[in-house]
Amino acid sequence: MRPVRLMKVFVTRRIPPEGSAALARAADCEVEQWDSDEPIPSKDLERGVAGAHGLLCLLSDRIDKKLLDAAGANLKVISTMSVGVDHLALDEIKKRGIRVGYTPDVLTDATAELAVSLLLTTCRRLPEAIEEVKNGGWTSWKPLWMCGYGLTQSTVGIIGLGRIGQAIARCLKPFGVQRLLYTGRQPRPQEAEELQAEFVSTQQLAAESDFIVVACSLTPATRGLCNKDFFQQMKKTAVFVNISRGEVVDQDDLYQALASGQIAAAGLDVTTPEPLPTNHPLLTLKNCVILPHIGSATHRTRNTMSLLAANNLLAGLRGEPMPSELKL
């Protein structure tokens, strides 16, 4: 006899197979999924979540008061397949006593690898070089042609020395980085000692770094942190990389800094909005490399994220400790 399914779960997108399988095995849950790789329209999301006990969402799903009202009083658990939680109305969620699961740690290494890949791609001008090969611009070896900037004996500044920031620092060490600077809400002496990193002000980091990597969380304090004043303090030869959240950067100010030669180049894995419109001015610049938010995009990492998100959801529904619960 088929077991009675007591708890409704709504999943806002197709997720990797390990997470899907974990949900399918849950005999105490009735799982409904938006069966598409594309985002669910808001009206369909409101209909899908109505009466649900659990919601598994992605960072592109805005979970606000309106959606929580549509879900109703049954909703006990929200599990997001992301480490970032700026898409969740946390104050409203806390007020309703809803538990939240997220996926830290499991995407740290993949995101750090991508950050270093993007940094090297940008500073060594790889997209430009590839295009020159394709369009016939490669005519012979030239001493000054396609020169970029190298990491050896450089100063690297990291904004946000959390899990991902530390992993980026470790990845960069073998490249012969001479000096590592970091900034954030407060010094992290234990981590800094291991990485031989110096805690400095944002202004000093901007002024002294050859390469800057933004790896902080999006908060009211970091929103718009990298703006005209910030870019004016940077070296003209400096390279800027953002793998955190698009809203940390004022993109109009970044465009002006790049177009005017105020800074050398930028690499972005995150933008505002996402996806970035194809007619956006930043896409006209040769010295700006933009990726479609693929920091955690390895098969292993995405599978692990989906499994952790599923296990967080199921544990929360069953009143058990979640593997990774966000404490509200």
- Rounded-to-integer distance, Cα 60 and Cα 42, Å: 11
C-alpha dist (Å) from residue 236 to 208, 283, 287: 11, 20, 13
DSSP H helices, the chain, are 17-24, 42-49, 65-71, 90-95, 108-123, 126-135, 163-172, 189-195, 202-208, 228-233, 251-259, 299-317
- The full DSSP string for 222-269 is TTT-BSHHHHHHS-TT-EEEE-S-GGGB-HHHHHHHHHTTSSSEEEES
Q: Which helix H or strand E contains 54, and what residues bound it? A: strand 54-57
C-alpha dist (Å) from residue 257 to 201, 237, 239, 263: 21, 12, 11, 6
From 321, 139, 182, 160, select the one nearest 242 (Cα to Cα). 160
- Rounded-to-integer distance, Cα 5 and Cα 14, Å: 21
Tokens 């404490």 map to which residue? 327
Residues paired with residue 90 on neighbouring β-strands, in sequence order:
none
- Indicate which residue of 53, 87, 280, 293 is catalytic: 293
Active site (annotated) includes residue 87:
no
From 191, 256, 215, select the one nearest 84 (Cα to Cα). 215
- Rounded-to-integer distance, Cα 294 and Cα 254, Å: 21
Active site residues: 293
